[in-house]
Every structure is written in structure tokens, then in C-alpha cells.
Amino acid sequence: MKKLFSIVLALSITLSAVGCSGTPIGSGGGDGDGSKTTIVFAMYEGGFGTTWVDEAIKTVEAKYKDEELEPGKKGLIIDVKPDKGYSGSGVASLYGAWDCDMYYTESFSAYNEFAKRHAFLDITDVVTSKVNGEEKTIEEKMYQSYRDWFKVDGAYYALPHAYGSGGISYNVDIFEDNLCYFNESGTGFVSSLTENRSAGPDGVSGNYDDGLPATYDQFFTLCEKLANASITPVAWSGQMLSYVASMMSSLAVDYAGYDDTVARFSYKGEDVEVAKVKEININDREPIFENGVLQTEKVKITEENGYKVFQQPGFYYALTFMQKLINNDRYYDVNMCTGTGFDHLGAQEEYVYSAADPSKRPIAMFVEGSYWYNEAKGAREDCAIDYPTEDGSERRFAFMPLPKANADKLGPQTLIDTNQSAIFINAEIDPVKIAPAKDLLKELYTNEYLSYCARETATLCPFEYEIAPEDYEAMSYFGKSLLDMKANGTRHVFPYSQSKVILANPSFGKPNADWETSKHGTNPVSYFIERKGDENFGAKEYFTSMLVKRRPEVWANSILPQQ
Amino acid sequence: MKVKLKGNSRLMKEIIFFTIMMIVPTVQYLIFGFGIKINLITLAFQTFNVDTNQMEWNLLGNFEKFFAQYNESLELQNSIRNSLSLPIWTIFLSIFIGVFFSLYIYKKQFGSRAFKVLLFMPSIVSAIVMTRVFSMFVDRAYPDFLRLTFGVEAPLGLLANKDTRWATLIFYSLWSGFGSSILLYVGAMSSISESLSEAAKLDGCNMLQESIFITIPLIYQTILVYITTGIAAIFVNQLNLYSFYQHTASASVSTMGYWIYIQTLSAGGQTQNYAYLSAVGLLLSCITVPTTLIIKWFLNKVGPKTE
């Protein structure tokens, strides 16, 4: 008996050999009965979900249903493997053990390095082709800042997909029920929904953002109104303060505008507005204020003086916004926003339910990425079942165009893409699968399919395309709000470029890198929460510490790639 | 002759059996233990050239970067400081309280079974579930309790409040670490001969004297294991910060274990970032390895002897 037990125990050790399969995430083997050629498509299972590819897959599978791509196999199956492990860092760290044919991933900062290693299949022929008889090629449709990143040494190896940005969403029903829209003069609120409203942040009357807070001052006036009505003005996940920092980055980028933001990430630009700085000594510097106003100047940006991009005044104004918000407990849910008790999903659920559950205090606005709406699909559906509306319609949420620091800055929005998604084909793909894999890519990037994706996921992709009327009608209110922003001049910047500074310091493309300081940590939200009400610590001190962190000496010695 | 052959045959079988048994773990160790560590060490002395897209030898580049970053980063400074101060709480206080509770349980005092359950529970329940439950308790239920019971306006949770944050993290770290240590302490105490305890009682020893002069010296080697492994892990201990705060733990509570973990997550799979982190790990190992060995030698020398 003992001997038998020893043998069984010894044999069980060999089970560890299964760890040698090289398939650490999900399953790369593919499903199906083996009678069809299988393409395995690994997809990151994040806020956008993975079901948006299903229709494209059906189309391509139908195209190849009678084709014999491999001997003895007729037809094609494209097998989707959704898993959270297929994030950018997850995919990159598994390089060498990639066993899927195609990948959809997000936050893929390693793209350039892997493209140069030829880890991906060259898809330039796909990107430079006109799909579905369209007038423009995929490349021509793609936003410029994305082209600059995805084209490496003259070739394309991946394509971007849905973008997302940090920002503020609002509950349209609460806004309408409480008349939270500014009147035409902007000095107060409307007394009815039919009354003329202010022009909104873009400064143009008669469009999607009329009545919404155009400036920081108006935003806080709105918060005051909501707080007086026993409505929590703003909330966010206290555990995921990085999303709030991401919103602050959006405020900073919007202040800078499109051209200055492109200059910031490419380290190439003329007349870029930066704060004036006084160099006290080699280790110390401070911003210059006059009568309490930050002084600025316009400079040429190069890689050598790239530290100046961290002097963009938008950072300072975003800090003032956050400081004012945190310092007033009435403007946000202190419990939800400062503790670890609410992760991002819990906060989304709380926000959604707050509008419906009469035992909860309503929350008007929510700070999260624009992908939160799709990510909260389960919570929204559950809420609709638990607390259906009287007429059975969906509750309305919308993505708010961010307020501007002052009235001089009114205009279209500029945002950065925090999603940084990419779809690529594994360079090691079986040659017989290349054609159908490329066909899938082409299908995904037709205007028709991009429009369909927008409808399904309430997100948009960085290409110029029209949304079909039927897709627009079927879109959620939230999706329409994103579309309205795009249609009214909102532009997205991809926060990576071929600049050596970015290639050597890929963290600069992530919003949280914006807020690194020498003395106050790396998250301004934590900073303001901990020092609430302390007059010695504020936006100016934090901004100063940011400037010290990126001072010329450190830039030249530690950040600029050494030749 | 027959007997000798039989003996050789048995020996040969044992050798074959031993070899088969040891091949898999040996090969696994050579690749995943030894091989990876060698690779990490060599990576520490390389940096990434963005022009050639290749790693290049640069003996001091990563180390210089670390020291430069240390001067610039409050987080890094706090992380090192917090990591160096953690042993006071997570090792010495943990051992003190752990031994106390172990003695209490070993002596089967009143409520010892209840303590057993309470102290073992964090070890049985999944760590991520425990941290979620704990954070919801201290950061949702507790503020609600203050607000509803005492009418406190906008109360902060224990982890949200900077004044209580560190103590709460230490408490949770101690509580979640008790299960395994108490198991070992109680196990070691149970191996003490009953006759020793009886003899001590006959000589007039009370429980405290018995604990100090008999029980603790006899389990000293077990305590020593905890001290040395704790010291060895001072720069690895995350204090559960990622489970509670994800990427945004305050700089005031950051530890090196957390800092390295966050940096690794942020590395994005890029080799250049891993090379830098390898160098940091190597540097920290140069501190912890000799420190651990010296402390172990010292404690062995001065500690009570079983004899």
C-alpha cells in the first residue's frame, strides 16, 4: 500500500510538465472539431468587451466556408479567446510564447520595440488598401497622430481600435429634472428645458453642449446647485484614483489644445505655450505668477528642451480644478471617493443605482474613462430590472465636454487616448491563415463596421468615418454624446510618437506620468485629499514640484537618451 | 556472491529511482530557478539603445539611474524608509504577539478555540477576498457607522484617513500573517515533552516562568526562522498595498515591494524597463543577503540554547 502510494505520488509530480505547454493565458489551441482551419484571436477583455468582433468574424468565416486552406480541412473558424491577461504588458511579456494568430490588446506601449523586432506581420498592404470600395484607404482615414506611431520604418504592423479618454460623465435625467443647464447669458440656470441655453464649452450655440458648464467657475456653480438640491455633484472610485488623474490629464490637454498636445508627445513644435519658470539654482525652480496669474510664454520644443512640455499651463489649471473640488466636501461623496471600499466596478454600480434606488442619494456626475458605460453594462441591465423606468426607456448618461479654465479657452475639445489599443497579426502565423486574418482586419476597418462598433460599444475609433443613420438611432444616449463630441470638433491625440524621448521613456505616454513630482508623490488626487484645507499645500506647490522633477539638469542626464 | 549481487541490484534500483524522481525538479530548478536568476543578473548590467533597438552592455547605467531617481522621488525615499522600518512591526511585533497567542492556544486557555479560528481565517480565505472584505469594512462600513451613530460629517475610512492608514495596514498585515506562524509555533510547542512542563510545575514555576524559561527557548529555532525570512523579505513586503490601492497608494505608505511591483506592472513588457528593475533588485539583494546572514549568525550566537 505504501509502495503504491509512493508511486502515485511520484507520478503526480510529472503533472507539473503541463506547465511547459507555453500557453499561460486562456487557451491558444482553438476550438472546433478539427475539420476547419482555425484562427485564434486573443482579445483583451476590458471595458470595451470583445463581442464587437463577432459580426466581422461571421462575415469572414462565411467567405471561406468552402475553401480548403489546409489539406483535409474545409472552411474557417475564428476562435476568440477573451482574457484580461492579454493587456499590453501581458502580451509583451509573453513574447516568444505567443501561440495565438491575432491579438487585440490595450495599453500597448511596447509596440515600437516589437515592430522593429518583426514580431508582427507586416500589414502595410491592408492599411494602404481601400476596403469595401471606399474612397480612402485605412491609412488615409486614420488620425495623423496614430499614423505617426503605428508606422514604423515605413511599414504598418498593427492598427489602433477604440480609443478612450478620462473625463466626466453626467446623468442627463438628473440634469433635466433639476434644470442644471446654464441660461443664455451663463449667469444662472434655465427655468425650463425649452429656454435658450448658454453656448457651452465649445462656445458655439445650438449644438450638443449648450447649457453645460463652459468654465471651471460654472462647473463649481453647478456643483453648488446640485449640493443644495441634496444631490451629490461628483463621484469616483476611491480605489482607482488613477482614473481621476486621467481626467485631470484630459483637462490639461484640453487647455493646451491639439497642436500643443501633439508637440508635447512628439517633442517637436513651434510656439508652444509653456509656463514661465524662474530657475533658482540647478536643483530648484518655480513658476512665475503675477497678480496670482500664471505667466506663460511661447517656445519652440525640441527633444533637448523637452522638459518644457511639462511646464504647459494646463497642468496647473487642472490642479486648481481638483484642489477646489476636493476642498469642498459637499461636492463629492467623501466615503466613495477617498477610501478603498469602492473599486471601479463598485463605483460604477453605485453611480448607476444612485439614479434609480430611492434609498440612495443621487449622484449627478461620475469621473471615469469614456469606456465605463460599456464596462458597466451588467450593472445598468441589473438596475433596469430592479428599478425599471416608468416608460421602460433606458436611463440616460452622457459624456460631458470638459469645462475650460476660463472663457478665453472656449472651443472644441482635445483629449488624449488612454486606451492605446492595437490589433496585430502574429508574425509566426501559419502562411495559410494570413489571407483570412488580413480579411478580418479589412472587415473590421470598413466604415460600415466601425459604425456598427460604435453602436455596439458606445465607443469610437480614431478614423474619419460616418455613422450610419440606423446605427446612430440604435446607439445609446451615451454613445451619441461621444459621437456629438466628435462631430463638433473633438480631436484625440495618441500619446506616443517616434521621438527618442518617448521610446526611451515609454511611461511618458501614460496619463499618470504627467503628475510625477519630486516631493509630493505621483497622484495629485491623493495629495489634495491628504492635505485638504491646508493652505500651505495646493496647486501651486504641486505644480512647482512637477517642474522641479523635470528640470533641465535631470532631463539632460537621466531622461534624454544618451548618444 | 548471490548476496552481493542482490545488494548491488537493490542499490542500482534505488539509484535509478532516485534519479528519475530528481530529474524533473532538478531540471526545473536549473531553468526556472538558476537560469532565470543568471539572466536577471546579466540584464541588470545592460541598457536599451533606442537607435539599434537592442540591449547593450552598460555596467553602471541602471544603477546610476536608480540613484538619480532616488534623489528625485519622494515615493522611492519613502518606500525604502518604510521597508526598513517594517521589521519592527511585521517581524518583532508579529513574533511577540504570535508567540503570545500561540502560548495561549497551546495552554488551551479560555476562548483559545475562538482565537484559533479568528487568527487562521485570513490564511484560509483567499487573500484578495480578505482584502476586499477588510477594505469594505474599514472604508465603507466604519464611516457609515460613524455617520449614523455619532453624526460625524463626511467621515473618512481607516485606510482613507492618512492618520490611521499606516496603523490599519500594519494591523491587517499582522492579522493576515498570524495563521501560518501560529500553526508553526503551536506545532513546535506541542513537541515539547510534557514531563518538562510537569517538572517545572513541581519546581514551582508559574505559567509565565514556564513560558520564558522553557517553552520559548525550546521553540527559539522556529522563531529564528521567522526572523531571518522576515529580514530577507524586507524589500519584498508589499504590505498588501496593491490589493487595497491598486496603482495609487499614497507615497507616505509605499514600500519597496510595492514600488517594484508597480514598476514591473508599468514596464509594459519592455525589456529596457526590466533591465532597470533587475538592477534595483540586485542592489537590494546586496543589502539583504549579508544583513540576513549576519543577523542569523548573531541571533544564533546570543540566543538561548536548547541544552
Please name the residues in contact with A246: beta carbons below 8 A apart, sequence gap of 6 or more. Answer: A165, A166, A369, A418, A511, A512
- For residue B199, the model assigns a pLDDT of 80
- For residue A132, the model assigns a pLDDT of 83
> Which chain A residues are closer than 8 Å to B266 by Cβ?
89, 507, 510
C-beta atoms of A340 and B72 within 8 A:
no
- Chain A CA closest to residue B244: A340
B26 touches chain A (CB under 8 A): no
Neighbours of B176 (CB within 10 A): 19
Query: Which residue stretches of chain A have pLDDT < 70?
Result: 13, 16-33, 562-563
A392-403 pLDDT per residue, tens: 888 999 999 999
Among A449, A457, A464, CA closest to A482: A457
B272 touches chain A (CB under 8 A): yes
Among A323, A321, A353, A356, CA closest to A336: A353
- For residue B212, the model assigns a pLDDT of 80
> Which chain A residues are closer than 8 Å to B74 by Cβ?
517-521
Task: At B139, list the grid cell.
Answer: 472604508
A5-36 pLDDT per residue, tens: 877 877 776 776 665 554 444 444 444 567 89
- Nearest CB to B143: which of A93, A335, A516? A335
Long-range contacts of A203-207 (CB under 8 A, 24+ apart): A203/A410, A203/A411, A204/A488, A207/A484, A207/A488
B94-141 pLDDT per residue, tens: 888 888 888 888 888 888 788 777 777 777 788 888 899 999 999 989
Confidence class for position B196, pLDDT limits 50, 70, 90: confident
- For residue B4, the model assigns a pLDDT of 52
C-beta atoms of A91 and B269 within 8 A:
yes
- Nearest CB to B72: which of A89, A90, A549? A549
The full length of chain B comes to 307
> Which chain B residues are closer than 8 Å to A116 by Cβ?
53
C-beta atoms of A13 and B268 within 8 A:
no
pLDDT at B282 over 90: yes
> Which chain B residues are closer than 8 Å to A529 by Cβ?
160
C-beta atoms of B270 and A113 within 8 A:
yes
- Percent of chain A at pLDDT exceeding 90: 70
> Which chain A residues are closer than 8 Å to B144 by Cβ?
335
- Nearest CB to B268: which of A109, A517, A523? A109
- For residue A21, the model assigns a pLDDT of 53
Helices marked H in A257-293 — which ranges? 258-266
Interface of B with A in 158-177 (CB under 8 A): 159-160, 162
B251 touches chain A (CB under 8 A): yes
A361-376 pLDDT per residue, tens: 999 999 999 989 988 9
- For residue A403, the model assigns a pLDDT of 97
**What mean pLDDT value characterizes chain B?**
86
Q: A419 by DSSP, 3-state: which?
A: coil
C-beta atoms of B244 and A239 within 8 A:
yes
- Nearest CB to A335: which of B48, B68, B140? B140
**What mean pLDDT value characterizes chain A?**
91
> Which chain A residues are closer than 8 Å to B252 by Cβ?
521, 530
> Which chain B residues are closer than 8 Å to A307 by Cβ?
none
- For residue B202, the model assigns a pLDDT of 82
- Three-state SS string across chain B, please? CHHHHHHHHHHHHHHHHHHHHHHHHHHHHHHHHHHHHHHHHHHCCEEEECCCCEEEECCCHHHHHHHHHHHHCHHHHHHHHHHHHHHHHHHHHHHHHHHHHHHHHHCCCCCHHHHHHHHHHHHHCCHHHHHHHHHHHHHHHHHHHHHHHHCCCCCCCCCCCHHHHHHHHHHHHHHHHHHHHHHHHHHHHHCCCHHHHHHHHHCCCCHHHHHHHHHHHHCHHHHHHHHHHHHHCCCCCCCCHHHHHCCCCCHHHCCHHHHHHHHHHHCCCCHHHHHHHHHHHHHHHHHHHHHHHHHHHHHHHHCCCCC
- For residue B182, the model assigns a pLDDT of 83
C-beta atoms of A522 and B156 within 8 A:
no
> Which chain B residues are closer than 8 Å to A10 by Cβ?
20-21
- Chain A CA closest to residue B72: A518
Among A373, A320, A327, CA closest to A234: A327
A139-189 pLDDT per residue, tens: 999 999 999 999 999 999 999 999 999 999 999 999 999 999 999 999 999
Interface of B with A in 176-215 (CB under 8 A): none
B207-260 pLDDT per residue, tens: 778 778 888 888 888 888 888 988 999 999 999 999 998 888 888 899 999 999
> Which chain B residues are closer than 8 Å to A117 by Cβ?
53
**Cβ(A364)–Cβ(A231) below 8 Å:** yes
> Which chain A residues are closer than 8 Å to B169 by Cβ?
none
Interface of B with A in 94-113 (CB under 8 A): none
- Mutation target among B20, B60, B74, B79 for the A interface, most CBs of A within 10 A: B74
- For residue A270, the model assigns a pLDDT of 95
